Amino acid sequence: MRAFAPIRRGRWWLVATLLVAVGVLARETRDAAIASAHPMATAAGHEILAAGGNAFDAAVAVAGALAVVEPHSSGLGGGGFFLLYIAAEDRYVFVDAREVAPAAATPSTYLDAAGKPRRGASTNGPLAAGIPGEAAGFAHLAERYGRLPLATSLAPAIRYAQQGFPAYRRMLLGLRFRQKTAAQWPAFGEVFYPDGAPPEPGYVIRQPDLAKTLQRLAAEGAPGYYTGETAQFLVDGVQAAGGNWTLADLAGYRVVEREPLFTEYRGVRIVTAPPPASGGIAIATILNVMSGYDPAALTGVDRKHVLVEAMRRAYRDRAIYLGDPDFIDIPVERLVHPFYAAGLRASIRVDRATPSASLPGLWPAGAERPQTTHFSLMDAAGNRVAATITINGWYGSGFMPPGTGVILNNEMDDFATAPGVPNDFLLLGADANAVGPGRRPLSSMTPTFLESDRGIAILGTPGGSRIITMVLRSSLAWMDGATAQEMVSMKRFHHQYYPDRITAETGALTDEEQAELERRGHEVSVSPRNFGNMNVVTWERASGRVEAATDPRGAVEAENVRVY
Ligand code: GLY
């Protein structure tokens, strides 16, 4: 089953072609394309495009379907970022539908009496969940940018929830991982553990409560989720299980529209995620550092070494400076300034690794379980969406408030719940990303557009802290001529300041490169696991060719289904 497919021109194409002929809509020489993590989600998007929807309606359809058929990664209990390009206005918007901390959340919520993090408090159960943003994001996209009613765009998701979808290996692995936590709360188990255990592949999973929650959202828009019956179910369930949400928290949730972050490297314009995402600033910093080197002269292992040193420094800045821009002052201009990068570059030696602990910053005293999902799409009018959406860990917090069918996120773990103590992704943080009422936790999600004389690429991936370096390296590959398929397939390596080591997929480094990096002082950890699950759409200016590619690591039936 393919999770992507360019859509062929329909009848509207005749009209569009006439308009192109008179030079009105230059961007309509393209086919539409969708790349997502599940074939049923991609099909939902195409169904809505065929019904006359635009890219933004299709984005609602794809994300709504993913909430049903990829329940371990994203959903109405989570949030996300939608990077939009509105072709008719030549305008970019970053729709921030990130979760927010409930009013009762304070820096001590996740600490014991001795000020140490309470094990599992920010990862399991209702206390781990921020107030979800995805439902508000859907309503916002439909009302502000779509052509179709929300109810039309959510119809495929509702149908999938009612009729069911076949269980597949990747989601079943997550169910095994979550079994102990989920056993504490029966609503989750009733849907996903028939007879008390994960089902066999192919078992049809129906989600009648989720269908009703989606129907209320579809009929009433955001109030159908954030007030009324759904809100009451959510709050009753959370409070009964020891969580701290209130009806006011839900009623107060708002999507925020932000200016994307723009940067440039080697003649390519990069349109990407601003805070509370950390990826845009980190990518700008890394590319600014790299721009001080001659790409023709910096090749092979030297290039990888310098890239790792730039990653190390960008992630150090992430730990110190980044958080919710509505609550803290982030020195964005400084961090993305070429002079600042020149200072960072001055501390890089090409022949030797810089120990992270030797850099001024946070240095404290694992494994990542990144779920999250990304899809890329473009319609025939040139509208684009890069969306990365999440409930954070596998099946989020593992908690489903009875009556909702909604799995709540564990996004509170993306805060620095204790200064200098690594989170589940081993990321460090401090005051800039402290827990606080109404704050959005810092994210690594990095939906991105690349634009150049060559054309356009729309990309992003799940993968926790590694999202940023995956997007970065696939962007560099596109600048070097890679196709969409090559971008999603390339082997990945990563450094995030702490822990002070390069993690790499098998095959990302040759034996000689690994030996040379170790000789320069790097610790290198080669993982048998896969990193990420990237989805890319590209458009070539010269040929007009559209390519949509899904990551072979994420294939729904693949054997290598572990996504790390
Ligand atoms: N929950 C993963 C992220 O936002 O970075």
Q: Which residue has the tokens 């991982």?
A: 177
Cβ of residue 475 lying under 6 Å from some atom of ligand 1: no
Query: In this predicted model, what pLDDT tens digit does every residue of 425-479 receive, in sequence order?
Result: 888 888 899 999 999 999 999 999 999 999 999 999 999 999 999 999 999 999 9
What residue's CA is closest to ligand 1, atom 3?
443
Interatomic CA distance for residues 427 and 129, integer angstroms: 19
Shortest-distance atom of ligand 1 to CA 393: 1
E strands within 65-123? 79-86, 91-97
Convert the pLDDT of each residue in 328-373 to its tens digit: 999 999 999 999 999 999 999 999 999 998 987 765 533 345 579 9
Tell me the torsion sign for CA atoms 128, 81, 38, 226. positive
DSSP class of residue 357 equals G
Average pLDDT, the chain: 90
Length of the chain equals 564
Contact 57, 46 (CB under 8 A): no
Residue nearest atom 1 of ligand 1, based on CA coordinates: 392
Ligand 1 centroid to 425 CA: how many Å?
9
Cβ–ligand 1 contact at 443 (below 6 Å): yes
Beta strands in 346-411 (DSSP E): 373-378, 384-390
Q: Which helix (H) or strand (E) holds 170?
A: helix 169-182
pLDDT tens, residue by residue, 464-514: 999 999 999 999 999 999 999 999 999 999 999 999 999 999 999 999 999
Task: Report CA(180)–ligand 1 centroid distance (Å).
Answer: 23
In the chain, what is the greatest distance between 2 CA atoms, to the nearest angstrom?
71
In the chain, the percentage of residues whose pLDDT exceeds 70 is 91
Dist. CA 417 → ligand 1 center (Å): 14
Q: Is the pTM of this model over 0.85?
A: yes
Active-site residue list? 372
